[in-house]
Structure 1
Amino acid sequence: MQACEKQQPQVSLLEVRSLKKYFPVGKPGLFSREKQEVKAVDDISFSVKKGETLGIVGESGCGKSTMGRAILQLQAPTGGEVLFEGQDISKLSKKEIRDLRKDIQIIFQDPFGSLNQRMTVGAMLSEIVHVHKIVPKEKELNYVQKLLQDVGLRAEHYWRYPHEFSGGQRQRISIARALAVRPKLIICDEAVSALDVSVQAQVLNLLQKLKQKYQLTYIFISHDLSVVKHISDRVGVMYLGKMVELADKHEMYSNPQHPYTKALFSAIPDVSSQAKKERVVLKGDVPSPLDIPSGCRFHSRCPLATDKCKAEAPEFRDLNRVHKAACHYV
């Protein structure tokens, strides 16, 4: 009898280590030589395994989208490392980064603003396919038309302009554009937030179908907790540029640990349960990113905060095999 083979561990496609992205604000004044900075992303670390979907949630202004752009090198990181298949892409030349675009793509929130209104859909997609030499020139037309059909459009849409489509159809074109170069990782930056609810469901189902067909890996950035729950395998929660909790989806939604995560999840409507849901209402407003609180960034709004929270930043640590959080008292 042959011995059972050991299950191979999943390989990390992307590793983010201590990623930082700071934006300078104004100039040093007469009485201050220090230049102010907005720490949009501040020392974030996580990994994404091949074939998984990592959801990133948080309030507007927490740094989700900036993090996605810094990973893709659309905005040069201030510090840290971004390793794609073991290679630190933050140290690549412009030409090498351009070549890497085939492997990492992004879908933006606004499909109308991200598409060239002066080009037909076919010309737009064919140009991408031609530049990156995906298929021979004589096969480009068939390749692009098949791509349009894969995202739920028709082959004859090849000759139409973006303004001739609805919002949901334009987002499907954006998805086709991302798929055109056969990427390994796609960053979805609020990819469905501008769509009607019924269209959101269709696009989410399409993304899941394409993930299986094209063997894709996603980072799905959204402020909508229900959408993230539907599509993600793991979920990370951000607050003021920091990752405060990261866990398996089922663990996160059934057993959130960080006080901020608990407050966020308490706001999710639940029509399936007769029991009254306890709502956690946070005191105060989100602090200004120009004046970040000392210690734990959440302490000014946290019901559990102590003097230790005000003085000492909590470590982002393992709670169990599938759960991490940054809080002194979880």
Structure 2
Amino acid sequence: MTTAQVKQSTDNLLEIKGLKKYFEVGGGLFKQKQQVKAVDDLTFNVKKGETLGIVGESGCGKSTMGRALLQLQKPTSGEVFYEGQDIAQLSGKQLRKLRKDIQIIFQDPFASLNPRMTVGAMLTEIVATHEIVPKKERQSYVQNLLEEVGLKAEAYWKYPHEFSGGQRQRVSIARALAVQPKLIICDEAVSALDVSVQAQVLNLLQKLKRKHQLTYIFISHDLSVVKHISDRVGVMYLGKMVELADEDSIYEKPAHPYTQALFSAIPDITEDNKERIQLKGDVPSPLNVPSGCRFHTRCPLATEYCKQVDPALEEVKEDHLAACHYTA
């Protein structure tokens, strides 16, 4: 899909066009700097009120993309439009105001919470900075927020180390929710939790989405989790989007060979003889991205043409996009 092919719609909360994020590594005496192409020419949109799941193997650029959307890492190039406004053109003050609307939940809640502050102090500081409620109402507002995410009001006085991992992630969710955002980026938000706690947090996220009319970008490597929570799913490989479709369509009939291989690995107790597609070789280094289709080194369908021409992300059927010369 080229930049010109992005569907313009008033239903889109976020529109990403040609997003790239490269990192320079190496250099020094007699050594040439190299570029890690972490995110390479992403073009897609996020609809209001949906949960867009982003999946792919570790190192495919999912988390870098999430940070680039929020401008936590400045994109190398490309455009990110939030409600029609180009985020890259915003001043520091405007960007701080935008971050009230777009929040992020990180994978490791302990690393993202200040260990020297109580939960109440942390959340109250955020509420005060963005002037969410009057000063006299801040404590009750924060305590109500903690109860909404499944904690007791007394959690207001506790420090992060006094909570379990699942409870700390609930604090992180409360922190994101405190400024009344429209979009929350969940960056591997449940991957560090036990399976039983994962289910509780996922159910909480869905409950909050309905109550507050939120939009999620849900980044994960766990295909089963993404299937459970997503309305649409985007599959990334080596910094690029290789398939994008609604959840039912992509799980029932994935079009891209990489997506087919990924989904074949999902355990299914209803199919005793489910065939697993084994990919050959390892994921190439983002320092040395293959020419043409970057998946051709592992693809069972690859031809000489694939090695030379990079396929565009195009519609293979209604609202189902794939970047493959030989889509099923």
TM over 0.5: yes
- Superposition RMSD in Å: 1.1
CA shift for structure 1 position 274: 3.9
Tell me what 1:71 maps to.
69
Contact 1:28 1:36 in 2 (8 A): no
How far residue 35 of structure 1 moved from its aligned partner, in angstroms, is 3.3
Judged with a 3 Å threshold, the aligned counterparts in structure 2 of structure 1 residues 10 and 251 are, in CA distance, closer, same or farther, namely farther
Q: CA deviation at 1:27?
A: 1.8
Residue 142 (structure 1) shift: 0.8
Corresponding position of 1:53:
51
State the partner residue of 1:282: 279
1:158 aligned to 2:156? yes
Aligned partner of 2:104: which letter?
Answer: I
Which residue of structure 2 lines up, in the alignment, with residue 25 of structure 1? 25
Distance 1:81 1:321 in 2: 25
- SS of aligned partner of 2:161: helix
| Separation in 2, partners of 1:301, 1:73 | 33
Q: Distance between the aligned counterparts of 1:263 and 1:298, measured in 2? A: 12
Sort the Cα spacing of 1:132 and 1:296 in 2 relative to 1 into closer, same or farther, 3 A: same
Determine helix, strand or coil for the equivalent of 2:93.
helix
Deviations 1:230-262 (A, max 9, x none): 000000000000000000000000000100000
Equivalent position to 1:317, from 314, 317, 323? 314
Q: 1:197 to 1:128 in 2, by over 3 A?
A: same
Establish whether residue 292 from structure 1 lines up as the match of residue 278 from structure 2: no
In the superposition, relative to structure 1, how do residues 56 and 274 fare at CA in structure 2: closer, same or farther (>3 Å)? closer
Question: What letter matches 1:316 in structure 2?
Answer: L
Preserved CA contact (<8 Å) 1:44 1:242: yes
SS at match of 1:228: helix
Q: Distance in 2 between matches of 1:185 and 1:160?
A: 28
The Cα of 1:315 is off from its aligned counterpart by 1.1
Task: Give, in whole Å, the separation in 1 of the partners of 2:83 and 2:239.
Answer: 25
Q: Indicate the SS of the match to 1:101.
A: helix
| Aligned match for 2:240, one of 219, 239, 242 | 242
Structure 2 match to 1:111: 109
SS class of match (1:247): strand
Counting only pairs closer than 5 Å after superposition, residues 72-221 of structure 1 correspond to structure 2 as: 72-221=70-219
- Distance in 2 separating the partners of 1:241 and 1:274: 32
Instruction: Give the secondary structure class of the aligned counterpart of 1:126.
Output: helix
Could you list the per-position Cα deviations for residues 91-119 of structure 1 after superposition, in whole angstroms to 9, with x for gaps in the alignment?
A: 11122111111000000000001000111
Distance 2:183 2:103 in 1: 6
**What is the letter of the counterpart of residue 103 of structure 1?**
D
Tell me which amino acid in the other structure corresponds to 1:323: H
> Which residue in 1 is equivalent to 2:37?
39
Q: Letter of the 2:99 partner, please give it.
A: R
- Structure 1 residue runs of 5 or longer lacking an equivalent are 1-8
Alpha-carbon deviation of 1:202?
0.1
Tell me if structure 2 keeps the 8 A contact 1:122–1:144: yes
Change (3 A) 1:71 1:274: closer
Q: Matches of 2:29 and 2:273 in 1, distance apart?
A: 53
Alignment partners' CA distance in 2, 1:300 and 1:316:
19
> CA deviation digits over 1:131-183, x for unaligned, max 9?
11000000001100110011000111110111000000000000000000000
Deviation at 1:322, TM superposition (A): 1.7
Residues in 2 aligned to 1:237 and 1:10: alpha-carbon distance in whole angstroms = 24
Matched, 1:328 2:325: yes
Distance 1:321 1:150 in 2: 39
- Kept in 2, the 8 Å contact 1:210–1:216? The answer is yes
Shift of 1:320: 1.7
Distance 1:28 1:257, change over 3 A: farther
Taking structure 2 as the reference length, the TM-score comes to 0.95
**Partner-residue secondary structure (3-state), 2:311:** coil
Instruction: Specify every segment of 5 or more residues in structure 2 that has no aligned partner in the other structure, as ranges.
Output: 1-8
Query: TM-score, structure 1 length as denominator?
Result: 0.95
- Letter of the aligned partner of 2:207 in structure 1? K
Give the Å deviation of 1:319.
1.0
Identity of counterpart residues, as a percentage? 74
Corresponding residue SS for 1:102:
helix
Shift of 1:29: 6.5
Instruction: State the distance in 1 between where 2:272 and 2:114 align.
Output: 50
Q: Within 2, Cα distance between the matches of 1:116 and 1:11? A: 37
